[in-house]
Amino acid sequence: MAANFTKRTISSSARSINGWFDHVKPAPKDPIVGVSEAFLADPSPNKINLGVGAYRDEEGKPVVLQCVRDAEANIAGCEFIESSSASVSSKFVEESLKLVYGKDSNVIAEGRFAGVQALSGTGACRLFAEFQKHFYPKSQIYLPDPTWSNHYNIWREACVPQRTFHYYHPDSKGLNFAALIDDVKNAPVGSFFLLHPCAHNPTGVDPTEEQWREISFFLKVKNHFPFFDVAYQGFASGDLEVDAKAIQIFLEDGHLIGCAQSFAKNMGLYGHRVGCLSVLCSDTKQAVAIKSQLQQIARAMYGSPPVHGVLLVSKILTDQHIKSLWLREVKVMFNRIQNIRTALRASLENLDSPLNWEHITNQVGMFCFSGLTPDQVHQLAREFHIYMTSDGRISLAGVTYDNVSYLANAIHQVTSSAQETLNISWSP
């Protein structure tokens, strides 16, 4: 009797265990991952991947910068011990902050910042989102429309309510500035606003310096908290100081701000996950308290970040010879992207395209927000083996002088056929 009861119990338990995860369904594919998978599965020799937002050289290949090679060689002979990791991270944070707040910033000299190493820009954003949820549980985050798709995931997973504010104007393919300011004015006092200080992803549309000053002013009036995601510093102008101007405007206006930095793009360290999160504070006492809270949140999420990448970045930022080399290489990457912008626009205009392509060269950074519709994007993939996200964002790093004419011709064909259909539908 006892044996039968035991068998029945085990059998029932086994059925229960086997059903534990039957309700779990596949997650929606990340738009960029989906583009890469479709590209890899396509056997066409003419295929082009315009989805990934990481730099590629003229041959379309990933690049290891010479400054990274030099830093690698420099640290290869060093004997790293665990006890020195805190000092390395501390120096890394301080040098990272100089890039965005200015090397002579009083904030750094006075120690009025809470800064921690993070798992690239994504990890820095997530860490701040968790901090926001912990200490402002009734707050919400305002995200630009559009923004990097992962921003929505990050703040959603931190259980922070999201709103959007106007940013891009699809007709002008530029900044919808008046609507942006209205949204800042109408948001509840003390809201959090996420801002791209340069090379906006995905649009490539940045405010002018004067517009940044107005944005700063109205955020200050409403006591909003500005949080900057700095993913592409150097790619908007080729100059890291120029690309940090927006942040320094807010600093001059007396804002307390947050900042997520990534070295994935401007140092080509995508796989190393090196980033920094900083929060500017009223005084050193507040800075110590906030840093301790950020460290505690990070400890519960991932313990501590890896050390190799931060050693590379620290060496690049502290060795003047290697840093000078890095700044020159950033300029080289910027120039290649700018030249491709010019070539793509010229190629389309030489085809007598009926559309205006000025926005290709008006926009900045790694991306061109082309204005292509989802149907046109799908047509490009289906008929021409050209892959990009459905919003029409073109990663210009994937364009080379060898494929720019092919790309322009394909865009011309899909946009011209759409224009002809539009004309026919409107003909009397």
Active site residues: 148, 229, 265
Three-state secondary structure readout of 417-428: HHHHHHHHHHCC
Give me the phi and psi of 273, to 5 degrees please. Answer: 55, 60
Give me the phi and psi of 256, to 5 degrees please. Answer: -90, 125
The runs of H, that is alpha helices, within 253-368 are: 284-302, 308-318, 320-350, 359-362
- Label the pairing between strands 274-280 and 258-262: antiparallel
Q: By C-alpha distance, which of 424, 411, 428 is closest to 354?
A: 411
The torsion region of residue 147 among left (phi > 0), alpha (psi -120 to 50) and beta comes to beta
Residue 17 CA, chain-centre distance (Å), reads 41
CA 175 to each of CA 95, 144, 165, 200, 330: distance values in angstroms, whole numbers, following the listed order = 32, 11, 12, 11, 26
Element (H, E) at 157: helix 149-157
The pair of three-digit structure tokens given for residue 406, joined into one six-digit string: 């092919």
374 CB neighbour count, 10 Å cutoff: 11
Round to whole Å and give the CA distance between 63 and 199.
Answer: 20
CB 257 within 8 A of CB 247: yes
Q: By C-alpha distance, which of 97, 402, 24 is closest to 276?
A: 97
Round to whole Å and give the CA distance between 363 and 244.
Answer: 17
Round to whole Å and give the CA distance between 402 and 419.
Answer: 27
